[in-house]
Structure 1
Amino acid sequence: MTTLLVFLVIFSIIVVIHEFGHYFFAKRAGILVREFALGMGPKLFSKQGKDGTTYTVRLLPLGGYVRLAGLYEEDEIQAGMEVGLEINDNDQVSLINLSDNFSVVEMPVRVDNVDLIDEMIIEAVPVGQTDIVKYSVAKKANIIEADGTKLPVAPREMRYESASVWNKMITNFAGPMNNFILSIIAFTIVAFMIGIPNTDSVIGEVVDGSVAQEAGLVDGDRVTEVNGQSVSEWSDLVLLIQERPNEELQMTVERENETVDTVVNVQAVTDEQSGNEIGQIGIIADREFSFGSSITYGVTATWGIITGVLGVIGSMITSGFNINNFGGPVAMAQMTDQVVSLGLPVIVNFLAMLSANLGVFNLLPIPALDGGKIVLNAIEAIRGKPLSESKEGIITIIGVLIMVVLMVAVTWNDINRAFFQ
């Protein structure tokens, strides 16, 4: 239960932060954000803000989404539908009710023709009459959907297609950008919590009862030589120790401006990953907790994830597709189960890693992903006009099919690895 809760919290934070990027820059570009949803599935709660955006909480706690006016939206009102209309004092439609629950102030009509983008009109036959009446729709009118969610109408000037190419690109890039920012922040928090191991050969802590303590090593010693070999990097020191289980090491350290020589009997332990014997003496690297180093770590750790993912993608281009390079919800749940018992710093580190991975994945030039949308924006910039709605629709459908096939394949592969191997 704890693993499930942590998984849902991590996944929701990553997705909501991603969607907030789209939300924020869409608003700046003048694109109407019709809905900002927390969770998926049936609506539990909704409230429309003064900015026109409807904020909803939905049943399934799996991330969230934003609905940008004009972006992959289908027509909500069709000819033949029976809807309820509320008319304001200016004889304009202020509310269109698509649900089954009409209020006493709403007039039931059967829709004949509708244009809520350019003309802002509804042509309909009031129930009980035979003549078609043409109604003007206010630009700030609302639509009540079948599930009771109230959303604003979206005139042409407030829609995604009316924004400049640059604003479209920024809006689409903002989701992955927010994932990278979240990753930097999370890695920085980890650095503040547990510190950053120094790269030089300074001992931060000597483990009580260890062979290093028996040899007289103390916290703060800087190891300069091992068996006559000069040492300055912590990684080199660790390697020299691990390569010599059950051996004696002649070590020279600097301590308070003095040089101290000692002999350490290296202990042999079994490496959990390889199963081989390695050397260990019981010393821990010095750690740094400064603000500057923590921020630097946040940036470099995030960049390391980004370049690592791009490297894997590049290797698949040159060496062939490998489904094992991908992980879906099942793999994420397994990894969550492993990190939950290791404490908060590891959980936050896991969140940072996943956020950076999601950011890179969403920038892949696949239609329906943010990267695919950016490619379409670039094509629009080159052509001087966007692709036709029909062509863009076909491209989007292809992208969705690719994503569905990939998700099914990845999930099935995760299940096989988890339960059958």
Structure 2
Amino acid sequence: MLGIVTFIIIFGVLVLVHEFGHFYFAKKSGILVREFAIGMGPKIFSHIDKEGTAYTIRILPLGGYVRMAGWGDDTTEIKTGTPASLTLNAEGQVVRINLSQKQVDMTSLPINILTYDLEDALEITGVVLDETKTYSVNHDATIIEEDGTEIRIAPLDVQYQNASIWGRLITNFAGPMNNFILGTLVFILLVFMQGGVADESSNQIQVVPNGALAAAGAKTGDRVLSIANHKVSNWAELTKAVEEATTGISTGDEITVAIQKTDGTKQSLKVAPKKQNGQFYLGVKPGLKTGFWDKLTGGFRYAWHAATMIISALKNLISSFSLNKLGGPVAMYQMSDQAAQNGFEDVLTLMAMLSMNLGIVNLIPIPALDGGKILINLIELVRRKPLKQETETYITLVGVAIMVVLMIAVTWNDILRVFF
């Protein structure tokens, strides 16, 4: 149960932070955000702000989404003959189109819709009491969809395609950018929680409880001066010295480790390294830099290291593709479950890594991903004119199809690996 809760929290935070980036910069760019949803599935709460954005909470606690006017698959489709009701203002303009049977307004006008244009002409035509009538639709009118969600209509001037090229570019980049910011902040938080950042330029150590060096009497804060006559002045020399000193020894054999205590006294210890996965270990970690600036910059370094690891893994995936190198929701649940069992710090580490991963993967220039949209923006910038909306839609649909097929394949492969 703890694994499921951890999975939902991590997945939810990553997606909501990503979508909030799109949401915030879309609004700043003059694009109408029709809905900002927390969760998926049927709506359980809805509120429309003065700018026309519907904030909804949905029943399935799995991330969320942003619905921008004219972006992606955001469309308003009304079938010919659909029964609806219209709310008119004092000037006779339509201010609400109700397609839902869940909300009934006794003062509204019943109509069977024949044609409509809610983007350009802003008109709706239908049969009212056996008479065909056409009504003007207010620019800021709302429409109540069949599931009861009330959102603004999307006239052309507030659609994604009519924002400036720079507005569209930053709106598409903002999702991955937010994931990079989140990942970096979580890494910084981890460094502060751990009391500092690893100092690999020093021979000062942290002693792992129950490790070989701890059993010999060493303490955190001590300095390793030499290992079996191999001098040590930093972490790289320490790991090399352990490797050389343990070559050819057997479990239980001892090596000599010279240390300097925190009070300045020196000791020579007999240590029996512990073998794990075919290698011998002393049970130590690098000492810590504990200054505020060290912690802050250390968090940034961890974020950069995580990003370079992910990019390297992507290069390896491209050069030798295999489904076993990919993981879907099942793999993510397994990682969440393991992190939850190991403790809060492991959960934060997983969240930071996945956030960096989500940001980088979304920048891959594949249609349907943010990177694909950014590529289209850059092409438009070079051409000095936008692509046709139909062309962009077809390209996006191809990308969606590819991603859906890949996700199904990855998820099925995860299930086979876990359960069979």
TM-score (normalised: structure 2): 0.91
Q: Number of residue pairs matched?
A: 411
Shift of 1:325: 1.7
Query: Does the CA-based 8 Å contact 2:255-2:272 persist in structure 1?
Result: no
| In structure 1, C-alpha distance between the alignment counterparts of 2:229 and 2:275, rounded to whole Å | 27
Secondary structure class of the residue paired with 1:341: helix
**Which of the residues 267, 271, 295 maps onto 2:272?**
267
Q: Corresponding residue for 1:228?
A: 229
Q: Corresponding residue for 1:286?
A: 287
One-letter code of the match for 1:115?
A: D
Shift of 1:309: 2.0
Map 1:214-363; keep pairs closer than 5 Å. 217-241=218-242, 243-244=245-246, 246-255=252-261, 258=264, 260-262=266-268, 264-271=269-276, 274=277, 276=278, 278-280=280-282, 282-317=283-318, 319-363=319-363
Q: CA offsets per residue over residues 50-85 of structure 1, 9 Å max, x none?
A: 221101111111100000001122233343222110
Shift of 1:5: 0.7
Q: Corresponding residue for 2:144?
A: 144
Gaps of 5+ in 2: none
Q: Corresponding residue for 1:65?
A: 65
Change (3 A) 1:30 1:214: closer
Change (3 A) 1:125 1:219: closer
Q: CA offsets per residue over residues 155-211 of structure 1, 9 Å max, x none?
A: 221110110111101000100000010000111111111132221210334757x76
Shift of 1:418: 1.2
Stretch deviating more after TM superposition (348-357 or 213-222): 213-222
Q: Corresponding residue for 1:158?
A: 158
Query: Does the CA-based 8 Å contact 2:207-2:213 persist in structure 1?
Result: no
Shift of 1:419: 1.9
Change (3 A) 1:269 1:220: closer
Change (3 A) 1:139 1:201: same
Secondary structure class of the residue paired with 2:96: strand
Stretch deviating more after TM superposition (221-230 or 33-42): 221-230
Map 1:6-405; keep pairs closer than 5 Å. 6-72=6-72, 73-100=74-101, 101-126=103-128, 128-130=129-131, 132-194=132-194, 195-199=196-200, 200-205=202-207, 207=209, 212=213, 217-241=218-242, 243-244=245-246, 246-255=252-261, 258=264, 260-262=266-268, 264-271=269-276, 274=277, 276=278, 278-280=280-282, 282-317=283-318, 319-405=319-405
One-letter code of the match for 2:238?
A: L
| In structure 1, C-alpha distance between the alignment counterparts of 2:291 and 2:350, rounded to whole Å | 22
Secondary structure class of the residue paired with 1:39: strand
Query: Does the CA-based 8 Å contact 1:78-1:114 persist in structure 2?
Result: no
Stretch deviating more after TM superposition (244-253 or 411-420): 244-253
Stretch deviating more after TM superposition (399-408 or 111-120): 111-120
Gaps of 5+ in 1: none
One-letter code of the match for 2:271?
A: V
Secondary structure class of the residue paired with 2:342: coil
Change (3 A) 1:27 1:226: same
Query: Does the CA-based 8 Å contact 1:206-1:218 persist in structure 2?
Result: no
| In structure 1, C-alpha distance between the alignment counterparts of 2:51 and 2:356, rounded to whole Å | 31
| In structure 2, C-alpha distance between the alignment counterparts of 1:331 and 1:20, rounded to whole Å | 25
Q: After TM superposition, where is structure 1 displaced by more than 6 Å over at least 4 residues in a row?
A: none
| In structure 2, C-alpha distance between the alignment counterparts of 1:298 and 1:150, rounded to whole Å | 43
| In structure 2, C-alpha distance between the alignment counterparts of 1:213 and 1:187, rounded to whole Å | 28
| In structure 2, C-alpha distance between the alignment counterparts of 1:94 and 1:136, rounded to whole Å | 9
Query: Does the CA-based 8 Å contact 1:17-1:175 persist in structure 2?
Result: yes
One-letter code of the match for 1:40?
A: M
Change (3 A) 1:220 1:146: same
Shift of 1:304: 1.9
Query: Does the CA-based 8 Å contact 1:94-1:142 persist in structure 2?
Result: yes
Query: Does the CA-based 8 Å contact 1:79-1:114 persist in structure 2?
Result: no
Q: CA offsets per residue over residues 17-53 of structure 1, 9 Å max, x none?
A: 0000000000100101000000111111111122211
Secondary structure class of the residue paired with 2:44: strand
TM-score (normalised: structure 1): 0.91
Q: CA offsets per residue over residues 108-163 of structure 1, 9 Å max, x none?
A: 1122221111221112221x222x32211111111111111110112221110110
| In structure 2, C-alpha distance between the alignment counterparts of 1:12 and 1:42, rounded to whole Å | 17
| In structure 1, C-alpha distance between the alignment counterparts of 2:59 and 2:273, rounded to whole Å | 54
Query: Does the CA-based 8 Å contact 1:142-1:150 persist in structure 2?
Result: yes
